[in-house]
A and B are shown apart, each in its own frame.
Chain A
Amino acid sequence: MPPPEASRPLDLSAMILRQLRPTITLLIALTVITGVLYPVGMTLAAKSLFPLASAGSLLLGSDGTVRGSLLIGQPFTGPRWFHGRPSASGTTPYDPTASGGSNLGPTSAAFTTLVAERAAAVRRDNSTDTATIPVDLVTASASGLDPHISPRAALLQVRRVATARGLADEEVRRLVAARIEPAFLGILGRPRVNVLALNLALESLDSGGAMAELSGEGNRPQP
């Protein structure tokens, strides 16, 4: 252990006792500063500077109810909706109280079998006989809450959604194209489409264009 030349007798217990008061005092003091003042101060600052972003980027419907968070995906399964990625969260898909991925290994049979089933389902739902399926649409995300799909995965679903809603293909395709988020500064991240925002836009397209309220993040709904 550490001592340099033993020029004076080692009195370990005295050394330990001497350090007890600073240990306790500083642990308490630093806990108050970094565990109470810091998070509380940050919350107050974030609340006043970025009230929408720090409260969960919530989306409000035209009647003011919360429809979801722009950042948290929701499950969609019906033909009238754009579908997001498969989700491995908790026991139900897209469960924000139990985020997580599948953790399936890249060579595991369980993984390839699951992907084959999903690919068959995508093919059946969208009656795409010729096209190949973009990989993001048949693999589960890391969080199980991924709100995005690739532009190709969205375009693949245009015909099904348009048919189910009695809309023109072109109209739905325009809606998708308008909602492709590019890479930040053209460099960071990948082009993507937010599925929940796209579906909410669809919904308001259906109900006669009352989607002005849905242009962005809403207000915090509850105290």
Chain B
Amino acid sequence: MMISAWTEVAAILMATTLAAITITPWLAAVFRMGADSDGSGEPETDGWFSRSLGAIQRPLLRAAGVWHIREMTATEYGIAILLFHGAGFGLLLFLLRCQPLLPWNPDRLPSVPWLIALNTAASFVTNTNWQAYGGETTLSPLSQALGLTVQNFLSAASGLCVLAVLVRGFVRRGSPTIGSFWHDLVRVTLGLLLPLAILVGLLLASQGVVQSFDTGVDVPLVEETLTAAGEAPSTRRVVIGPVASQVAIKQLGTNGGGYFNANGSHPFENPTPLTNLLEIVAMLMIPMASCLAFGRWVGDRRQGYALLATMAVLFLPFVVLIVRFETSPNPWLAAAVPSIDQATSSEQDGGSLEGKEVRFGPASSALFAVATTATSCGGVNAMHDSFSPLGGLVTMWMIQLGEVVFGGVGTGLAGLVAYTLVAVFVAGLMVGRSPEYLGKKIESREMKMGMIVLLVPPIVTLVGTAAACVLPAEAAAASNPGPHGFSELLYAFSSAGNNNGSAFGGLSATSAFWTLGLAAAMLTSRLLTMLPLVAIGGLLAAKRTVAESPGTLPTHTPLFVLLVAGAVILVGALSFVPALALGPIAEALQPPAAGGGPR
């Protein structure tokens, strides 16, 4: 029966690739890459798509007073990003704190406590979507729609804007400017994310993902209505709401914050195996298409294929491993309770089923898990905390690789390009060639910015985890004993420090240390990767192009793909293997014992 699991995994990955190829021309047309040479402010690229997008953005940008300002320097672009993040943070905080005073709060939910509100605002503005809130019990439909859904769009759009700036760095020659944040933001939000979200949202709603103005239906329990004659049966409130619209963008924008506490494992967020496929496709397709669009933008499609191949080389082995781990029986459970059948057959699923849904089974739960951690989505359809030790290790390590294997929309590929610059630089040093990538010389200032992008997330992750470990009261937030408890701490800071947002959910991260510490990790990591990337774009755009010479290192060959993948693995391994050894690896090495594991 393992054959059916692999067929399913392969089918989902093929559907994803097809979807990515399909949207590539669309994504490529969203950004204007060339300089605004005539200063007219009108879109100079022709085609109906660009023209109609221009027509939509014109009134918005006129109202904002920036229609005629088409171009910014890197500094201005960075300031615009900072201001926009700040304003979004403020608005979200206001919505959460003033929830009871605002309309569309039919269940009269109280104001979100300060710590949770601060954490949630930081989490959604930074595209992390760590869920400190318990969706259905904390947030009104207004907060969900006006607060969370909006940031799902805007944080994802900001990520793509950063990618656009980086690409302009390669495309432009001797240009002091790198495009306008406001133009990019509006184009990508209204031209790409919104139409895709409408499409995905309607497909999801057709399958049973709820989308309603109502907040719930009271249902008497079937068993009690018939057995407890005379007594009023207890009821359950089935919570519904505007879910499909939020789930669509949470997947597409690699956000991951769910409408419900159980996120994408809740049957109203992900009701069938078909919606599961759709959600996996939705979270992977923009990051994959970005690679292909990159090739189109820089005028050499082979460069895009090479970047996509690099991601695939880093992704596929882990898919195979995690599917293996999760479909295999749990040996600790087998030793403690021998009468449980954990084998997979046509009549039942085997493997690790705690924290997984029957309709998905362990194989596609594992695929979802590796996809959601490889991209910076962080939505889940199964509880990673209950994964096998090594399955949990895969999810954690995908996050710790810095979210460059697919990664967040825009920021993932931009991060991989930073790794590419490092690989070019290192290769250049080794053979004595002057390092260049796509015709631009890579010099010390780009490298310094690149190193910030590479090193801030691991530093934030490890410092945060270490702090949690030396504060006994904070380390006690872990619910599981022993190495698994350490994994919960490490996972939390990995997730926040790389803007992923998934969790080993057993951690009760509600203290001031955890809420504020994770919020600080999310903000530091997001801003200190985005801003240096913008800076690299600015530095490169100002340079002249160097002509290709026999000494130029080709950057589309399999050899180069392995070089970049090696750089990613090396940084990830050097940073995290010691920590992983204390957590999931130590846990996996515990001998199974009859009557239970360690205390």
Contacts and interface: CB of A to CB of B under 8 A. Distances in A.
Contacts of A20: 83
A163 interface: no
Most buried by A among B65, B150, B598: B150
Contacts of B330: 106
Contacts of A4: 73-74, 176, 538-539, 541-542
Contacts of A38: 149, 194, 197-198, 245
B244 to A, nearest CB: 6
A112 B596 CA distance: 6
A43 B80 contact: no
A97 B7 contact: no
A206 to B, nearest CB: 9
Interface stretch (B201-209, B295-303, B436-444): B201-209
Nearest to B487: A105
Contacts of A5: 542
B265 A190 contact: no
B508 to A, nearest CB: 10
Contacts of B210: 54-56
Interface string B347-360: 11111111111111
Interface in A128-147: 132-136, 138-147
A147 B219 CA distance: 15
Interface string B232-259: 0000111110101110010000000000
B467 interface: no
Given A42-B198, A77-B223, A97-B137, A10 B75 contact: yes
A24 B87 CA distance: 7
B26 interface: no
A20 B182 CA distance: 12
Interface size, B (range): 35 or more
B359 A189 contact: yes
Contact of B221 (A35, A75, A104): A75
A54 B205 contact: yes
Interface in A181-203: 183-184, 187-192, 196, 199-200, 203
A26 B408 CA distance: 23
Contact of A190 (B154, B355, B361): B361
A107 B484 contact: yes
B340 A133 contact: yes
B506 interface: yes
Given A42-B198, A150-B347, A106 B354 contact: yes
A81 B190 contact: no
A35 B480 CA distance: 39
Contacts of A67: 219-220, 222
Contacts of A101: 262, 265, 354-355, 382-383, 385-386, 505
A198 B136 CA distance: 28
A58 B595 CA distance: 43
Nearest to B148: A35
Contacts of A77: 223
B47 to A, nearest CB: 23
Contacts of A149: 358
Contacts of B381: 142
B102 interface: no
Contacts of A16: 79, 83
Given A27-B88, A188-B364, A132 B339 contact: yes
A39 B149 CA distance: 9
A180 B539 CA distance: 61
Contact of B276 (A29, A39, A75, A188): A188
Contact of A2 (B265, B356, B389, B534): B534
B387 interface: yes
A167 to B, nearest CB: 16
Given A16-B83, A135-B349, A199 B222 contact: yes
Contacts of A211: none
B130 interface: no
B342 interface: yes
B482 to A, nearest CB: 8
Contact of A103 (B361, B389, B504, B538): B504
B484 to A, nearest CB: 4
B268 interface: yes
B337 to A, nearest CB: 5
Contacts of B84: 23, 26-27
A56 B240 contact: yes
A112 B355 contact: no
Interface in A5-34: 5, 7, 10, 12, 15-16, 18-27, 29-31, 33-34
18 contacts: A15-B79, A22-B61, A31-B150, A35-B149, A42-B198, A42-B244, A43-B211, A50-B205, A53-B208, A55-B214, A56-B217, A80-B227, A99-B260, A105-B587, A113-B336, A135-B340, A144-B262, A191-B346
Interface of B: 4, 7-8, 11-12, 60-61, 63-66, 73-80, 83-84, 87-88, 91, 134, 136-137, 145-147, 149-150, 153-154, 176, 182, 185-186, 189-190, 194, 197-198, 201-202, 205-214, 216-217, 219-223, 226-227, 236-240, 242, 244-246, 249, 260-262, 265-268, 271-274, 276-277, 330, 332-333, 336-337, 339-342, 345-361, 364-365, 380-383, 385-389, 392, 479-482, 484-485, 487, 504-506, 531, 534-535, 538-539, 541-542, 587, 590, 595-599
8 A-B pairs with least C-beta separation:
A189-B273, A142-B265, A103-B506, A99-B262, A105-B484, A112-B336, A109-B596, A150-B348
